Structure 1
């Protein structure tokens, strides 16, 4: 059996969650294997692969442009040396981007497989044909050996007692009780064209309360913080704001202890679904055929299909009606269909509107 190096240093949470079943299939098949992933998501990898030790974190955060150049160089070289110490004989690049292609070339493996790309002969000894017409799960399957068997499903993301205890303290400090039925809401996204309007999220918070659910706002980073502040400014009674307050382990614990999740097309949407939480994803110009959550208890909403002249960064109809015209009523109805609204709550919300 070869010494297998599996490359997936992707910085996007959703991509990692979609790929993990295939990464696990390769780890299960090969005793001498090492998985490279972005170390920012170590908590997710460990929650999805409990007990797995054949892991090497790529220092993506330490290599950010805000870090001094010399410090970045040291982190990168330290990682490359650690990767080469594994002495792989076969390297499979499942991410298939420039970063991972470069790592494949530097790995020292004689056999290097990856998707056909410009100048790929410099990086791989064998080019693989990537499936680009179905869900991204299928694309990753076409690069994996072996791939996880269908149907497309996440690996369950497990929580632990320390994270649950820490979360309970945070929730109580915020004035909520652990017994309240929580609706987790992620108002942010990496791109502006993925963001439902903050006033719609504020109205959703109001309607959720009328239906017996307690909204909790999550997020991380400047963009999410700006969205959360706009939502809070539109509420007479602010929702519990946990933006930038949770570790990934605590976020997983929150998802395991909540009633449902609503959010834009983003990584937390996939993580919520991987935790088994009833999930409503709000989609605009991104393609749900590629990115829809892979869970029976997940639904996506879009007001209409995009115009043929639309692009993700440019709406031919202005203001992205595909996303912005999704109504709060549609969201509440979908939550009720998923069994996430307390008995009689949706009817009460209708009456109060």
Structure 2
């Protein structure tokens, strides 16, 4: 075997320190559904040294809710493209090798850079998803097949169970708990919380409709609006409480006190699901495996089975723009302010 790929000798790690390096450099929502796995590994194997590579947006999740894990954060785009940039890849490889991982665990959505760094880290075991579209998937020692109908949380759980089996350790419980976010606290405002954002434009219900909906709801209920720093927000009624959280900690604390959440299928929705906050969600292009992972009975998912284009996101990745050229954004345009207003009121009864 080429010496650059030669792993260090495998160590038995049941009752001794093991260095586990986890790759999860991605969006906030992807890490919300991954967090319970890291929390469970830290709880079941307190003698392990766990390091999580993640994004700056997601790092506070682990800092507050899983302080046992060491964190390294990287810009997602820079990290994922590093396999095409020798200088950047070399810097990342130095960091990775300095950790001296015994095992590398890759999340279900990690790209070629994570695969290459894991294998070049000289870890004795690299475990991740089997995604044929990943050019460097073959570098992993174990590639766990992904089941398309599984939730994203379940897919990651299966990968971790495969890792534990390869290490000869007992499996985690089959039930996936919601992440414990209690350390973030809770502001008891009991308002309807509205977050109009999402990481990609084609995943958003129009801002002007969110604003009109907020104004109608504010006639009868307290409304908390998370500012998006958009020009149209000056049309919000003065009675609506507007907040601009200075950190993820502040955002979660405000969200935890909500009576109901309204938003797109995005990171805040996953946080609401974890917190058990009922919600009305514009599902847009998202696949069913991104439905709320926990407390799903509390959510009204706005999607129309009659739309042949929905969902347009692929199993292995988002498509990044609307695929409907005849009626762009049909899955969002389908929902009027009046219809959503009535659906929310029905949920509040």
Q: TM-score range by the shorter chain?
A: 0.7 to 0.9
Contact kept in structure 2, 1:185 and 1:217, CA below 8 Å: yes
Q: For residues 190 and 39 of structure 2, what CA distance do their matches in structure 1 show?
A: 34
Aligned to 1:305: 305
Q: For residues 159 and 205 of structure 1, what CA distance do their matches in structure 2 show?
A: 29
Aligned to 1:48: 65
CA-CA distance at 1:101 after TM superposition = 0.9
Q: How many residues align?
A: 307
Aligned partner (choices 217, 221, 224) of residue 226 of structure 2: 217
Q: For residues 337 and 271 of structure 1, what CA distance do their matches in structure 2 show?
A: 23
CA-CA distance at 1:236 after TM superposition = 5.1
Q: What pairs up with 1:64-75 in 2 under 5 angstroms?
A: none
Q: For residues 150 and 91 of structure 1, what CA distance do their matches in structure 2 show?
A: 22
**Is 1:38 aligned to 2:51, yes or no?**
no
Q: For residues 110 and 25 of structure 1, what CA distance do their matches in structure 2 show?
A: 22
Unaligned runs of 5+ in 1: 165-177, 220-224, 340-345, 347-353
TM-score by length of 2: 0.74
Aligned partner (choices 110, 113, 123) of residue 109 of structure 1: 123
Q: For residues 181 and 339 of structure 2, what CA distance do their matches in structure 1 show?
A: 28
Aligned to 1:185: 194
Aligned to 1:99: 113
Q: For residues 330 and 148 of structure 1, what CA distance do their matches in structure 2 show?
A: 43
TM-score by length of 1: 0.74
- Cα deviations by residue, 1:105-131 (Å, 9 ceiling, x for unpaired): 232202222223444466212322222
**Is 1:90 aligned to 2:103, yes or no?**
yes
- Aligned partner of residue 7 in structure 1, secondary structure: strand
**Is 1:207 aligned to 2:216, yes or no?**
yes
| Alignment RMSD | 3.3
- Aligned partner of residue 112 in structure 1, secondary structure: strand
CA-CA distance at 1:79 after TM superposition = 5.5
Aligned to 1:11: 26
Aligned to 2:7: none
Contact kept in structure 1, 2:21 and 2:101, CA below 8 Å: no
CA change 1:280–1:308 in 2 (3 A) is closer
Q: For residues 120 and 199 of structure 2, what CA distance do their matches in structure 1 show?
A: 30
Q: For residues 259 and 137 of structure 2, what CA distance do their matches in structure 1 show?
A: 50
Contact kept in structure 1, 2:29 and 2:270, CA below 8 Å: yes
Q: For residues 276 and 133 of structure 1, what CA distance do their matches in structure 2 show?
A: 23
